[in-house]
């Protein structure tokens, strides 16, 4: 029996990359995991299959984020899938997009979409999910180390949206604290995912440069981020809330 046995978790963007790592880790700890996806149903089903192969329980939830009514529609689908009281114990707001463009060329439409998915969707998922979240529950937001450094200025809109998520984390911890619900954010650095594959994998110089940013001399993996999320989801982290946790491998030191 894992430390999350009997718990139900929802991981947005849980079909790939860091989200998949988190979903699989929570599943191994015994949580029933709702694996959310925006468009890639095949990848979400693969994540579910991996969780089930390891002895866990999971199901998929498909809903595009960043569109009107996204949070309400996702929760409706969640309620239908879980049945019963529709209760939730762990919400991981992981889904996000980046817009890598110079400041002078970033368009308004693209800017709005980054904020709609990275900041607005987590806000309303938490707002509408609060009534489903059991007392003593967890909200964990996936931020970025770029909210504390300007090393990648072409990601300015992405970094701004995640900074908004950090403020949301801090303030929401006060709102939900009386119910013993903790709210924290984790901030990865450069992580070896398929999203970063185009510039990171197969390029020794790019890989070496990314690794050199870390005090530990390496590039992060989804599992390393997921381990921190699993800790925050556990009872061991019951006295940690409103916190921004650096999981960049020391890239900000």
pLDDT tens-digit series, residues 178-187: 999 999 999 9
Q: Reduced to 3 states, what is the DSSP secondary structure of residue 114?
A: helix
* Residues tagged active-site: 158
User: Which has the closest alpha carbon to 126: 163, 97, 169?
Assistant: 169
Q: Give the three-class secondary structure for 181.
A: coil
**Do 211 and 4 contact (CB within 8 A), yes or no?**
no
Share of the chain above pLDDT 90, in %: 86
H helix or E strand, kind and range, residue 136: strand 133-142
Question: Average pLDDT in the 65-89 region?
Answer: 93
pLDDT at 66 > cutoff 80: yes
What angle, 0 to 180 degrees and rounded to 10, lies between the N-to-C axes of helices 156-176 and 108-115? 30
CATH of domain 8-191+222-247: 3.40.50.720
pTM score: 0.95
The 10s digit of each residue's pLDDT in 90-139 is 999 999 999 899 999 999 999 999 999 999 999 999 999 999 999 999 99
Structure tokens at 90: 């762990």
Nearest partner of 157 among 200, 195, 118, judged by Cα: 118
């Amino acid at each position: 029996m894992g430390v999350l046995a009997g718990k139900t978790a929802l991981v947005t963007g849980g079909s790939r990359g860091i989200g998949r790592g988190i979903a699989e880790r929570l599943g191994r700890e015994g949580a029933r995991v709702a694996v959310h996806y925006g468009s890639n149903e095949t990848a979400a089903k693969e994540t579910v299959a991996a969780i089930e192969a390891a002895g866990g329980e999971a199901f998929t939830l498909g809903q595009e984020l960043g569109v009107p009514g996204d949070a309400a529609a996702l929760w409706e689908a969640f309620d239908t899938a879980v049945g019963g009281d529709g209760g939730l114990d762990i919400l991981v707001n992981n889904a996000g997009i980046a817009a890598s463009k110079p400041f002078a060329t970033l368009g308004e439409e693209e800017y709005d979409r980054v904020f709609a998915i990275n900041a607005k969707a987590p806000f309303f998922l938490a707002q509408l999910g609060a009534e489903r979240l059991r007392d003593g529950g967890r909200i964990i937001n996936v931020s970025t180390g770029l909210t504390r450094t300007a090393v990648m200025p072409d990601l300015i809109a992405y970094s701004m949206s995640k900074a908004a998520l950090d403020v949301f984390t801090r303030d929401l911890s006060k709102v939900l604290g009386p119910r013993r619900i903790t709210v924290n954010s984790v901030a990865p650095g450069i992580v070896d995912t398929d999203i970063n594959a185009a510039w990171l994998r197969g390029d020794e110089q790019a890989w070496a440069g990314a690794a050199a940013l870390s005090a530990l001399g390496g590039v992060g993996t989804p599992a390393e981020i997921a381990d921190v999320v699993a800790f925050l989801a556990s009872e061991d982290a019951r006295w940690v809330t409103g916190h921004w946790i650096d999981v960049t491998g020391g890239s900000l030191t």
